[in-house]
Structure 1
Amino acid sequence: MTVKILADSACDLSENHYKTYDIEMVPLTVHLDDQEYKDSIEIKPKTVYDAMREGKTPKTSQVSPQAFKAIFTSYAEENQPLVYLAFSSELSGTYQTAKMMEQEVKESYPEAELHVVDSKCASIGYGLVVLRAAQLAKDGAGTDEIMETAVYHAKYMEHIFTVDDLEYLYRGGRVSKTAAFVGSFLKIRPILHVDDGKLIPLEKIRGTKKLHKRMFDIIEERGKDFSNQTIGISHGDDYETAKKIADAIEEKFNPEDILIEMVGSTIGAHAGPGTIAIFFLNNDYK
């Protein structure tokens, strides 16, 4: 039986991707104006970004244990193999919740082929890992091959990103109030990346042109062979900048493909509008 791939909404893939590759998606929750919304189903990123521009502070919460239990139970009952690739455990409790529910369901269905994998990735970096797993599943690969390849892609997936306003990271507890104020005043923008699932600041750059040039330098320094891989770009409601960066990447690195998506509500609620992120493998494509 074909292996089913499950992802959560923090992978920032489009509905078209879910349909094309038969990926099931479980949404995280966005809290805005005292209301709860299922990410990407009941609320779209644009709504979140517009609210943030108005000074509002949306919050997010992980997938509930009940949601995972229902999904895992349904696959166990049908005896269909399921691989859930989870949003980084360093950025959300969703992975830990899924692991608990996996064990609980397996107490009732000990033969169930349920597998929960911590991607340690976010946004389209996470989405690219999910897509690779889904491609293999569609081609008839087994759970071992799918998980081995997904873990490899996750391990070598670079996340290079910047935010437009440090105030949003301050609200999310990522930088101090002083750093946010000084950064905004001096037009300083940080370059950050994800290391072993954790959000790590790399450098601070003053000026947009210097910032983009440095991001390209980092791609060149850390990247390897782009000819057979997809480079991902995600943006916080700034498609114009994302497209300019994509065109420059196409010209300079000539990757097999470039995937542009908006940063979804879950991550966007913390990073804010104007976020730009670039994702690529720093090792051979597998």
Structure 2
Amino acid sequence: MEKIAIITDSCSDIKKEYRELYDIHVLPIQIQYDGKSYRDGVDITSTDIYAIQDEKVIKTSSPVGEDLFNLLDQLKDKGYTHVIGLFLSSGISGTGNQMRLFCQTYEKLKCYIVDSQSASVGLGVIAVSLAKYREEGKSFDELIEIADFLCYQNYAYFSIDDLNYLQKGGRIGKASAFLGTTLKIKPILSFEKENGEIYVPAKVRGSKKVKSKLIDLIESHLEENPHQKFALAIADANNLEERNILEGMLKERFPQFTYIIDGHVGAALSCYLGSGLLGVAIQFLPE
């Protein structure tokens, strides 16, 4: 009988309550500065990052193989037979590819690794949605097909206050960083479906228009898929008040959503996004 584990990385920003409720296992991204290494969400938090990121040179790297192999051994001991791994977009990270290579050397479990082409709660809602289908008794092969659908039919959008961190981390072009910081135009970031890289589908002038633009972007996808079931996800980085307002707007504008999850941006993504982020994702669900 199949017993299927779902693994993701800490850039999914899945809250502890969702991890426990849906039996989702999270590998911590590594964060390095001052010659030391820390595990996202274990040894270091986003608050720690905010306090040092203007003075320190901070780098991130994929979860270490030891953590993955230890987790796989634990899963095997608990009776799991299969694993589906959902990881940060390959357009900004090599985590998924590295996990794929590690899993190829582990023969005790049958593993399938998915490139989410997303991040933060965009990735988190994929993992939660897949876990819900697993609860319905879907087989490993069925869940693989569903996982691929979820990743392709997932659209996440994020507005941030300071693009310099993304620029220094090599995640966005210099021109976009100059545009946002110099002209006070706030870009809305998302992920290209072709390669999972960050791009700018929209811009607004000033913070007050951000929430409305995020709502409009979600609505544009619903206009293209008017009869499809969907879930929503919402994220913030040290911006709880605005996040709560945005959540109320989402629920009022799209009351037909199947479910909604929320999350706070963790330490690893905070290295590139800073504080002040607002994000939203729509996840279309297979029938």
TM-score range, shorter chain: 0.7 to 0.9
Secondary structure of the residue aligned to 1:232 is: strand
Structure 1 Cα separation of the partners of residues 142 and 174 of structure 2: 46
CA separation of 1:177/1:227 partners in 2, compared to 1, >3 Å: closer, same or farther?
Answer: closer
- TM-score, normalised relative to structure 1: 0.88
- 1:136 CA drift (Å): 2.4
Structure 1 Cα separation of the partners of residues 80 and 232 of structure 2: 35
In structure 2, stretches of 5+ residues that fail to align are none
Alignment of 1:144 onto 2:141: yes
Alignment of 1:162 onto 2:164: no
Residue matched to 2:44: 43
CA contact (8 A) 1:225 1:284 kept: no
Residue matched to 2:170: 173
CA contact (8 A) 1:76 1:113 kept: no
Residue matched to 2:241: 240
CA contact (8 A) 1:2 1:138 kept: no
CA contact (8 A) 1:8 1:25 kept: yes
Secondary structure of the residue aligned to 2:90 is: coil
Residue matched to 2:30: 29
Structure 1 Cα separation of the partners of residues 260 and 268 of structure 2: 22
Structure 1 Cα separation of the partners of residues 84 and 168 of structure 2: 34
Which letter does structure 1 place at the counterpart of 2:221? R
In structure 1, stretches of 5+ residues that fail to align are none
Residue matched to 2:113: 116
CA contact (8 A) 2:146 2:286 kept: no
CA separation of 1:187/1:26 partners in 2, compared to 1, >3 Å: closer, same or farther?
Answer: same
Structure 2 Cα separation of the partners of residues 244 and 179 of structure 1: 27
CA separation of 1:24/1:88 partners in 2, compared to 1, >3 Å: closer, same or farther?
Answer: same
- TM-score, normalised relative to structure 2: 0.88
Q: Percent identity?
A: 26
CA contact (8 A) 1:64 1:97 kept: no
Which letter does structure 1 place at the counterpart of 2:17? N
Secondary structure of the residue aligned to 1:231 is: strand
Residues 142-165 of structure 1 show CA distances to partners (whole Å, capped at 9, x for unaligned) of 111111112111101001111111
Secondary structure of the residue aligned to 1:202 is: strand
Alignment of 1:191 onto 2:192: no
Structure 2 Cα separation of the partners of residues 251 and 124 of structure 1: 20
What does residue range 217-228 of structure 1 map to in structure 2 within 5 Å?
217-223=216-222, 224-225=225-226, 228=229
Deviates more, 1:196-205 or 1:6-15: 196-205
Residue matched to 1:85: 86
- 1:120 CA drift (Å): 1.8
CA contact (8 A) 1:4 1:137 kept: no
CA separation of 1:4/1:183 partners in 2, compared to 1, >3 Å: closer, same or farther?
Answer: closer
Structure 2 Cα separation of the partners of residues 184 and 51 of structure 1: 20
Provide the aligned length of Structure 1 versus Structure 2: 280
CA contact (8 A) 2:3 2:80 kept: no
Q: How big is the alpha-carbon RMSD for the aligned residues of Structure 1 and Structure 2?
A: 2.4
